[in-house]
């Protein structure tokens, strides 16, 4: 025990010295009574802590337990009958009372919540947005489309929508000759929901025919209709106006086609267009289609 007390005193001196050094120049005895008092309190606390700890270590070492054992024996280890400590018992009862108060009065389930308020406000604003943008005129749609395009689409399609070094489709006119040729060669099945059958590859093999059809389509379906167009019109309709579920409109970027590209993304001759499904709502998609249609004018 004696050696422990000596150890305790050494510990106290060491901690006090540490405290003193840590406080550095800002501390000197006798100058500031608040500082002196603080130091005294530190000393007192240390003494109490060290000696209380020593007391318990001593108790662990030497105490012999007394009292009645509970029934039962766990591999030779018994358990004493201990009364519940009063403090613990009180804390237990108080916490039960507090819990009942908390659930019923403090924060009942239907009380105000920030998340609830946020959701409510979101619903209100969405409604407001929907009614405000329900029937937009042509001009508003176009400028809305333009501003979205400048932010979301120009990185790939370019400021003037002419495509950047062929890295994304030129959107200023509906179909280029090259993309018709590519489509005839490779076909495509990007839009499984809208056009389940897709377009089969190698629809034509004769180079003259391919050229004639490509010129006709890219030229906006004007002039003499090439004979081979019959192969295409079964799906793309007369003059490429498209037909539901089998082939898209090839004349202009329809609302439906742009929305489909934006929702599904598109893997094509040049690269991959990512899906914007979660980033744009239907009105914004419509606005983009309106804007894109004005590009060629």
Under a CB-based contact definition with an 8 Å cutoff, are residues 237 and 251 in contact? no
Q: How far is the CB of 167 from ligand HEC (least distance, A)?
A: 6
Smallest separation, CB 238 to ligand HEC (Å): 13
Q: Which two tokens stand for residue 116?
A: 């609830």
- Buried-exposed string 42-69: b where 16+ CB fall within 10 A, e elsewhere: beeebeeebeeebeeeeeeeeeeeeeee
Q: Take residue 228 and report the two structure tokens written for it.
A: 């081979």
Cα–Cα distance between 249 and 242 in angstroms, integer?
A: 4
**In the bound complex, what is the minimum distance in angstroms from residue 159's beta carbon to ligand HEC?**
13
Q: Which is nearer to ligand HEC, 49 or 178 (CB)?
A: 178
| Residues 53, 12: Cα–Cα separation, whole Å | 13
Nearest to 169 by CA among 279, 280, 272, 293: 272
Nearer to ligand HEC, 239 or 266 (CB): 266
**Residue 113 Cβ, how far from ligand HEC at the closest point, in Å?**
36
Q: Which residue has the closest beta carbon to ligand HEC?
A: 268
The residue among 46 and 153 lying less far from ligand HEC, judged by its C-beta, is 153
| Distance, CA of 40 to CA of 19 (rounded, Å) | 12
50 versus 292: smaller Cβ distance to ligand HEC? 292
Binding residues for ligand HEC, rule: CB under 6 A, are 149, 152-153, 155-157, 168-169, 171, 175, 179-180, 183-184, 188-191, 195, 197-199, 203-204, 213, 217, 231-232, 234-236, 246-248, 250, 253, 258, 261-262, 266, 268-274, 276, 288
User: In whole angstroms, how close is the CB of 129 to ligand HEC at the nearest point?
Assistant: 19
């Amino acid at each position: 025990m004696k050696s422990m007390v000596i150890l305790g005193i050494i510990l106290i001196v060491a901690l006090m010295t540490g405290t003193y050094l840590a406080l550095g120049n800002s501390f000197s005895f006798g100058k500031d009574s608040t500082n002196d008092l603080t130091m005294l309190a530190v000393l007192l606390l240390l003494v109490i802590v060290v000696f209380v700890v020593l007391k318990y270590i001593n108790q662990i070492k030497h105490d012999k337990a007394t009292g009645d054992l509970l029934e039962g024996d766990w591999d030779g280890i018994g358990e004493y009958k201990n009364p519940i400590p009063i403090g613990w018992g009180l804390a237990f009862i108080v916490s039960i009372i507090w819990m009942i108060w908390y659930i019923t009065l403090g924060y009942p389930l239907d009380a105000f919540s920030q998340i609830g308020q946020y959701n409510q406000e979101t619903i209100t604003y969405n409604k407001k947005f929907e009614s405000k943008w329900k029937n937009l005129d042509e001009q508003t749609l176009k400028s809305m489309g333009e501003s979205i395009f400048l932010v979301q689409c120009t990185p790939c399609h370019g400021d003037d929508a002419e495509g950047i070094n062929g890295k994304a489709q030129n959107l200023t006119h509906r179909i280029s000759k090259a993309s018709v040729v590519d489509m005839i060669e490779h076909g495509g099945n990007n839009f499984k929901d809208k056009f389940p059958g897709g377009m089969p590859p190698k629809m034509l093999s004769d180079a003259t025919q391919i050229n004639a059809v490509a010129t006709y389509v890219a030229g906006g379906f004007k002039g003499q209709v090439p004979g081979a167009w019959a192969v295409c019109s079964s799906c793309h309709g007369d003059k490429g106006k498209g037909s539901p579920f089998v082939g898209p409109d090839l004349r202009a970027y329809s609302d439906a086609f742009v929305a489909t590209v934006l929702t599904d993304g598109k893997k094509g001759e040049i690269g991959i267009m990512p899906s914007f499904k979660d980033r744009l709502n239907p009105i914004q998609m419509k606005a983009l289609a309106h804007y894109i249609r004005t590009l060629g004018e």
